[in-house]
Chain A
């Protein structure tokens, strides 16, 4: 990934009604990053899958989770983080298979339980016309 040009952060409550905010935000950011419409739709779904799981799990100690969008010339990286560090392994049972398969298929790289302490990071490269 090239040098990060811009970082945009969302702080969202663990509520279903605000997952759309993450979708709309990444849609706008990915559009600025030069992604085509089809890829933007893919990224929206992938981001929502993680938000859905976080909302479903909730947190006893934290009110919010954070979605960090890191945009560079050739890549968009989305990082999910929370002050509640017990929220690490968020995709862990059979019911999560649909979500996991969707995320892995739609994004280029996905890291669960990131070594830097994030819950998850995912990235997608920009395809430029040569």
Chain B
């Protein structure tokens, strides 16, 4: 389990897929927002965030996801969050964010 955050981007035909690995917290998230916003602005495509290797997130990261979703919506696009671990899916449910994002 890594306490750092790694970020990998894959261009699909109709979306950009992001693979997050490690932990999104107040420290590691500092440049995540910039990366996600840049991808949305430059591609104007749907975003799929694969969280299979994401071990930790808190409201810092959830807030970044919400901000990214707002930006996506400006382009008429959506964010799909896939492979959430149970402990992280719980946070989406607690905060009602499971109703904002498409969670697969």
Spell out A's residues near B (CB within 8 Å). Answer: 16-17, 19-20, 23, 38, 41-42, 44-45, 48-49, 51-52, 55-56, 95, 98-99, 101-102, 105-106
Q: Can you name the residue of chain B whose Cβ is closest to the Cβ of A20? A: B3
Neighbouring B residues of A45 by C-beta, 8 Å: 56, 58, 91
For the complex, is B26 an interface residue (Cβ under 8 Å from A)? yes
Give B50-72 as 1s and 0s: 1 = Cβ < 8 Å from A's Cβ atoms.
00000010111011000000000
The residue from B23, B27, B59 contacting A98, defined by CB atoms under 8 A apart: B59
Shortest A16–chain B CB gap in Å is 4
Distance in angstroms from B56 CB to nearest chain A CB is: 7
B95 CB within 8 Å of chain A: yes
Chain B CB within 10 Å, residue with most, of A38, A48, A49: A48
B13 part of interface (Cβ distance < 8 Å): no
Q: Known: A16-B30, A98-B95, A105-B94. Is A42-B58 also a contact (CB below 8 A)?
A: no
Structural contact, B63 and A98, CB atoms closer than 8 A:
yes
Interface residue B87 (Cβ < 8 Å from any Cβ of A): yes
B86 nearest CB across to chain A (Å) = 8
Which listed residue (B27, B62, B94) contacts A106, Cβ 8 A?
A: B94
Residues of A contacting B95 with CB < 8 Å? Answer: 98, 101-102
